[in-house]
Amino acid sequence: MSSVETLEKTASPTDTSIGHDQMNIVIVGHVDHGKSTVIGRLMADTDSLPKGKLEQVKAYCAANSRPFEYAYLLDALKDEQSQGITIDSARCFFKTKKRHYIIIDAPGHIEFLKNMISGAARAEAALLVIDAKEGVQENSKRHGHMVSMLGIKQVVVLVNKLDLVDYQEDVFKKIQEEYSAFLKELNVTPITYIPISALQGDNIAKASTKMPWYNGPSILEQMDLFAKQVKDVGLPFRMPVQDIYKFTEENDDRRIVSGTIDSGTISVGQSVVFYPSLKSSTIKSIEAFSAPEHKTVGAGMAIGFTLTSQIYIRPGELMVRGDESDNAPHVSTRFKVNIFWMGKAPMIKNKQYKLKIAAKHSTVRLVEIVNVLDASDLSSMQNKQHIDRHDVAEIILETSKPIAFDLSSDLENTGRFVIVDNYEIAGGGIILDQLEGEESILKEQVQKREFTWAHSSLTSESRASKFGHKPQFILFTGDKYYDTMELAMALEKQLFQDNCNVYYLGAKNLRDDAGQDMSDNREEQVRRMGELARILTDSGQIFISTIPELDRFDIQTLQLLSKPYDILVVNVGENYFQEYKPDMLLKFNKSTKELVADVISELKTRKIIG
Amino acid sequence: MNSKATLEPVVKPMDHLDKLEALSVHILREAYREFNNLCMLWSIGKDSTVLLWLARKAFFGHVPIPLVHIDTHFKIPAMIQYRDDLARKWKLNMVYGENAKALAEKQTYPDGNISRLQCCKNLKSEALKHTLSGEWTRYRMNHNTGQYEPDTNQEPYTGVIVGARSDEEGSRSKERYFSPRDKQNDWDVGDQPPELWNQYKTDFAPGTHVRVHPLLDWTELNIWEYIHRENIPITDLYFDQGEGKRYRSLGCFPCTSAVESTAKNTSEIIEELKSGKFSNIAERSGREQDKEDGGTLETLRREGYM
């Protein structure tokens, strides 16, 4: 039980006299293809084992009349021993003269695929183990697929147990050919294939003498040849906005747009555009606590910025450099992706899921399954109507509002996403292509709604003549929520006194429940508001509501849902819209009474009221 | 994508501490964005003090998250003094909790009535559980008086940021950055949520408690290198005061012993760690309760120990 700790203590990067260079490498392979033996051997041959452990395990094997295997050693070091399989991505530490390694031992059993993926997603290189005698198995192919999707660029294939096939070159070559052909379809090109016998120590830490036909490196030599991943400073600038902070303690008046830079560099004075809102500004300062002043920052840094102008942006937007418009991100509601599914429940069409891409959360639906790949032979199943656990599929997704993203072939970090189902990360994937957002689920729903609408025998005109005014949805928006709300309620009161059939509804009343996070529920809140507006205006009323911080996409959604009626959008206070023009712009430079009079006068101009 | 025609200004490459810092800051911001009733545990030790510093990094000098300390009343007195000094200086939202009943009834190891492990359970695990849930009185520092007062906020903290590191001991190496505990505080080691790239599990069913571990990838050496580089004020119990001894891990005085060391400052500690002097001695070897637990914290951790 305590041996794992001892192991990690002994070989932990703490006791170092060499440099700080550290690399995560994931090792994957089908069960019984010798993964544990490879790790056990690597640790033994680099003197990374706790004192006496090797002797202890050897003695145990001798006493129990079993041939010693390095796999036992590793098993002995793991508290998952009782189950005989690695249930989580255990980490083993060892070092060479060049650097420290953390070997992430990913479980081979398919039940633990999500653990393998968590481990592998952190890796800079992957070692794929294949048994020379058994050859390429279904899991070998599935693992190849995962490595491809996870974006691990440095892949080395270890063909193990060469001792069982008399160190024959043609066995090795045959596996290399077969697996290469398979990986090629996934756009994975292994750096090299290494013939090994983990049991005999061939080509593990040093070159084997038993395979004169092989001149390549041993595993250890190859590991030292892996290149450290360089952060993508040379690529177009992307920073997903994680949050916007304004901490007012100690008279701090900075409004800081913060996040971790995914790629590229940016300097003070450069212009920035936020996607998808398309709002723009200029970098005023780069903010960091207790750090030297920065004028330029780049990929990998968790940082903050102040802007020269006060624009309203939300967490989740993508900050892009204004001078890099040639490399602007895509903005759409529809896109084609490759996905692998880990969820207990299958992924089904038209169910609402949560999409997380960069810092953006959005609701998303599966609209079309292009094909489901059988990961074992890459044959596709065309007629599948859902995606099962462990399936890899090419599908089309649709978000309820346009989101900003990159194609994963252009920029990896902003081109990949996860899907949350029932609170769990159930799928992960990469974006292959943008699709035009002409057709949308919402549009179809509204068309269907209007087609099947059960019309009453009363006409809109007859209601208008009875009430003495036309129906109208008046939507107030602005940054000062409570002042705006007060104005909306004052308008309701005035119209009521003028004998109008009027109703004010607070946006908050449309929330799911008080405990829910507003930001996640916002799209649903907007949708409900639109549906209600359709009903209340149809009843002939003047319907008033206030939703703070609307963006142009919200307004598009509301306009679509309110059809066939129009919306009067009134912006109060600072106007943060850049790409959309509200119907009325009011400032707080007048009394509430005067502002109410302005709206009433606009309603008269529009012939809503007499 | 077009390749860049213009020459970009040079950005200083990030070293290993920069990278660890950036990831921890990212996780802290993610936690702050996603969870409403969030707190951060501050044991006064080096790891959670680094965590506190990283929070100031993440939030640009501010710490918008309450800091919770579980006071066993057997802590080395200098630790409490240091805690309150720093809380006043940095205007921290400082909260402490305790197991008042066990203390009053002397159900503690130093009182000679129970085992070390049971004492940890009483004064730490239980105190923590009920302090987080708001069932037991929390004491909050009033910055006008500099004194603690019973906290009027009794809302349960459902997100807890913890300074656990995976190199510390075995059971912590299986953690995720965002790790759920159910209502019984149970931790299902075998069924951990997947973490892909920088997407973490931040969606939880109502009633789930979440532990956030921004320091998972840091080693003991990294912690000291960072304290040194950032000049983070740290309690001097970690340094030799001329007696040839220092604490490597801090806890309650009856159960924590010092290690032999003449390291008087951060650079000397870094030298000492690099020398390999402690390479065969676990960091928590001075913590007696671990030994009763078969050398692993797993039992305690399943029961809510941090």
Asked if pLDDT for residue A69 goes beyond 90, the answer is no
Rounded to a whole number, what is the distance in Å from the CA of A301 to chain B's nearest CA?
A: 6
CA gap B77, A5 in Å, rounded: 31
- Report residue A239's pLDDT band, with 50, 70 and 90 as the boundaries: very high
A352 in contact with B at a CB cutoff of 8 Å? no
> Looking at chain A from residue 27 to 86, which residues have their Cβ under 8 Å from any Cβ of chain B?
50-51, 79
Using alpha carbons, list the distances in angstroms from residue B83 to A326, A511, A597, B160: 53, 41, 58, 19
- Report residue A584's pLDDT band, with 50, 70 and 90 as the boundaries: very high
* Residue in chain B lying closest to A316 (CA): B33
Contact B57 A289 (CB under 8 A): yes
> Looking at chain A from residue 546 to 605, which residues have their Cβ under 8 Å from any Cβ of chain B?
none
Task: Write the pLDDT tens digit of every residue in A506-519.
Answer: 877 766 554 444 44
With left for phi above 0 and alpha for psi between -120 and 50, is residue B242 left, alpha or beta?
Answer: left
CA gap B191, A87 in Å, rounded: 9
CA gap A74, A79 in Å, rounded: 10
Amino acid making up residue B129: K
Q: What is residue A327's DSSP assignment?
A: G
Q: What tokens were used for A374?
A: 């059988």
Q: What is residue A511's DSSP assignment?
A: S
CA torsion angle for A592, A594, A596, A598 (degrees, to 10)?
-140
Q: Which residues of A touch B273 (CB under 8 A)?
A: 14-15
Sequence-ordered strand ranges (E) for chain B: 38-41, 67-70, 94-97, 139-142, 147-150, 159-161, 178-181, 209-212, 245-246, 259-260
- Determine contact, residues A307/A256, Cβ cutoff 8 Å: no
Q: How many CA atoms lie within 13 A of B47 on its CB side?
A: 27
- Determine contact, residues A585/A472, Cβ cutoff 8 Å: no
Task: Write the pLDDT tens digit of every residue in A225-237.
Answer: 988 766 677 789 9
A170 in contact with B at a CB cutoff of 8 Å? no
A228 in contact with B at a CB cutoff of 8 Å? no
CA gap A583, A474 in Å, rounded: 10
How high is the pLDDT of residue A22? 76
**Concatenated DSSP letters for A341-410?**
E--SSPEEBT--EEEEETTEEEEEEEEEEEEEE-TTT--EETT--EE-TT-EEEEEEEEEEEEEE--TTT
B8 in contact with A at a CB cutoff of 8 Å? yes
CA gap A258, A251 in Å, rounded: 19
3-state secondary structure (DSSP) of residue B278: coil
A328 in contact with B at a CB cutoff of 8 Å? no
CA gap A107, B174 in Å, rounded: 13
Amino acid making up residue B247: Y
CA gap B159, B152 in Å, rounded: 19
Amino acid making up residue A153: K
- Report residue A364's pLDDT band, with 50, 70 and 90 as the boundaries: very high
Q: What is residue B126's DSSP assignment?
A: I
How high is the pLDDT of residue B190? 55
Asked if pLDDT for residue A1 goes beyond 60, the answer is no
Q: Which residues of A touch B15 (CB under 8 A)?
A: 20
A252 in contact with B at a CB cutoff of 8 Å? yes
Query: Considering chain A, what percentage of its residues have pLDDT values greater than 90?
Result: 43
Residues linked to residue A336 through DSSP beta bridges, in sequence order: A396, A433
Point out the residue among A115, A245, A300 whose CB comes nearest to the CB of B14. A300
Task: Write the pLDDT tens digit of every residue in A188-227.
Answer: 899 999 999 988 889 998 889 999 999 999 999 999 998 8
- What values do phi and psi take at B81, rounded to 5? -60, -45
Q: What is residue B194's DSSP assignment?
A: P
Task: Write the pLDDT tens digit of every residue in A75-128.
Answer: 666 543 333 334 344 667 777 888 888 887 766 555 556 666 776 777 889 999
How high is the pLDDT of residue A81? 34
Q: Which residue has the higher pLDDT, A508 or A451?
A: A451
CA gap A399, A362 in Å, rounded: 7
Q: Which residues of B touch A150 (CB under 8 A)?
A: 196-197
How high is the pLDDT of residue A5? 31
Per-residue tens of pLDDT for chain B, all 306 residues? 444 444 555 788 888 899 999 999 999 999 999 888 999 999 888 999 999 999 999 999 999 999 999 998 888 888 899 999 999 999 999 999 999 998 889 888 888 888 888 888 888 889 999 999 999 999 999 999 989 999 999 899 989 999 988 766 544 456 788 888 765 555 555 566 777 888 888 888 877 888 999 998 888 889 999 999 999 999 888 999 888 888 888 878 788 888 888 899 999 999 988 887 776 666 766 666 655 544 445 555 555 555
CA gap B260, B280 in Å, rounded: 14
Amino acid making up residue A326: D
How high is the pLDDT of residue B116? 85
How high is the pLDDT of residue A147? 81
List of residues 6+ apart from B105 with CB closer than 8 A: none
Cβ burial B46-57 (10 Å sphere, 16+ → b, else e): bbbbbbbbbbbb
Amino acid making up residue A28: V
Mean pLDDT of chain A: 83
For the CA atoms of chain A, what is the radius of gyration?
A: 31
Q: What is the pTM of this model?
A: 0.79
How high is the pLDDT of residue A212? 93
Task: Write the pLDDT tens digit of every residue in A371-393.
Answer: 887 655 556 666 788 998 878 88
B47 in contact with A at a CB cutoff of 8 Å? no
- Determine contact, residues A490/A592, Cβ cutoff 8 Å: yes
Rounded to a whole number, what is the distance in Å from the CA of B35 to chain A's nearest CA?
A: 9
Contact A13 B219 (CB under 8 A): yes
CA gap B218, B47 in Å, rounded: 9
CA gap A516, B36 in Å, rounded: 10
Residues linked to residue A127 through DSSP beta bridges, in sequence order: A27, A156
- Report residue A409's pLDDT band, with 50, 70 and 90 as the boundaries: confident
CA gap A469, A465 in Å, rounded: 7
3-state secondary structure (DSSP) of residue A476: strand
- Determine contact, residues B158/B202, Cβ cutoff 8 Å: no
Size of interface A-B (CB pairs under 8 A): 202
Handedness of CA A449, A450, A455, A459 (dihedral sign): positive
CA gap A18, B137 in Å, rounded: 49
Whether residue B64 has a cis bond before it, omega within 30° of 0: no
How high is the pLDDT of residue B3? 45
List of residues 6+ apart from A461 with CB closer than 8 A: none
Residue with tokens 């098993």: A75
CA gap A166, A41 in Å, rounded: 20
Q: What tokens were used for B137?
A: 């009185």
Among the residue ranges A356-370, A552-566, B60-74, the one predicted with the least confidence is A552-566
Rounded to a whole number, what is the distance in Å from the CA of B1 to chain A's nearest CA?
A: 6
CA gap A98, A103 in Å, rounded: 15
- What values do phi and psi take at A310, rounded to 5? -90, 105
SS3 of A74-133? HHHCCHHHHHCCCCCCEEEEEECCCCEEEEEECCCCHHHHHHHHHHHCCCCEEEEEEECC
> Looking at chain B from residue 150 to 189, which residues have their Cβ under 8 Å from any Cβ of chain A?
166-167, 169-170, 173-174, 176, 189
Report strand pairing: A424-435 vs A330-341. Answer: antiparallel
